[in-house]
Amino acid sequence: MGMNNRLSLLLGVALVFQSPAQTNPPSTMDWADLLGAVQEWAEENLDEDLLAALSEPDEQQVREFFEHFQRQLGEENVLDLAALSQAARGVLPLLEAREETRPYAAWLRARLDYLDTAEELRRAMPAPPTAPGRPAPPATNPPPALERQVWSKRLANRPVPPAAKTLVPRLKAIFQQEHVPPELIWLAEVESGFDRRARSPAGAAGLFQLMPATAQRYGLRRWPLDQRYQVEPSARAAAQHLRSLHARFKDWPLALAAYNAGEGRVGGLLGRHKARDFDGLAPYLPAETQMYVPKVEATLLRREGVPLRKLPAPGSG
């Protein structure tokens, strides 16, 4: 069913219940049940597949790339990401060419850094020793200290994204209201490049790339307008989520690892590997998270001159 037909059906449902011909109008509880059912239906059916706007060959190329890219982001080997750089740069123009797929383009553009930095790290890492007559062992992951060094060098001369110039004061005010260090608003540069349209193939959306479950947890609506794409609601939810994660992990690098990889996953890995901090946990985290936390650290140093570990704990409000 096309978008217009679905919208017509949705409007028809509403009109039926608003019709003056109704002799027994629904009670308040009936209206709540109705609106809940309509919202659930809309979220399941009105989220059109944005990639369908592409031609069939382009759509297939993008889908295959996204599947491969997301799988590699979830694996542990950071250096394997380097091999995806050429494919990513082939897919990006396809996504940027159509209005419908530009949200995906914004998400991908913010992650090209991971691929380029993985290549720099690959060149910087010494080759593992090889025994005569045996295949070379897989390369080990770069230590977080090396990643911080490479990220700091990469971001040293990067200009502020144009959209940040107007958004930063608004975002900082919201984070301060939520008693979260305002410097952390620069997560929006890492997550979306300050492009509020950004959307991931996994369903994260907006400046702070909130997943649907996270949005629901902090009271954001997804229908009829998805508040993850709105500046104030999304920033407030992101700040509240960061505050909650710090309350659990008592440490900003671990809180950010949980923001990226999920608090259940980070909590489980900490217990399993008896790690006490991000550096001890990093080898067991997804490749994206291993890159994400050092990139946030380098971004804060570049934009605010503040080390992540020096940020204060959230206030109680």
For the chain, how are helix, strand and coil distributed in percent, rounded to 5?
Answer: 65, 0, 30
User: CATH no. for residue 233?
Assistant: 1.10.530.10
* Catalytic site positions: 191
In the structure, what pLDDT confidence band is assigned to residue 46 with cuts at 50, 70 and 90?
A: very low
Q: What are phi and psi of 219, to 5 degrees?
A: 80, 15
What residue numbers bound the domain in which 94 lies? 52-124
Which of 124, 144, 178 is a domain's end point? Answer: 124
In the structure, what pLDDT confidence band is assigned to residue 316 with cuts at 50, 70 and 90?
A: low
* Identity of the residue numbered 143: P
In a domain, 278, yes or no: yes
Strand partners, 199: 205
* Residue 137 pLDDT: 61
Residue 202 to residue 211: CA distance in whole angstroms: 8
- The percentage of the chain sitting over the pLDDT mark of 70, rounded to a whole number, equals 81
* Residue 21 pLDDT: 44
304 and 175, same structural domain? yes
120 and 193, same structural domain? no
In the structure, what pLDDT confidence band is assigned to residue 125 with cuts at 50, 70 and 90?
A: confident
In a domain, 1, yes or no: no
Number of domains within the chain: 2
In a domain, 71, yes or no: yes
Strand partners, 210: 205
In a domain, 39, yes or no: no
232 and 298, same structural domain? yes
220-245 mean pLDDT: 96
* Residue 4 pLDDT: 44
22-44 mean pLDDT: 52
253 and 183, same structural domain? yes
In a domain, 44, yes or no: no
In the structure, what pLDDT confidence band is assigned to residue 223 with cuts at 50, 70 and 90?
A: confident
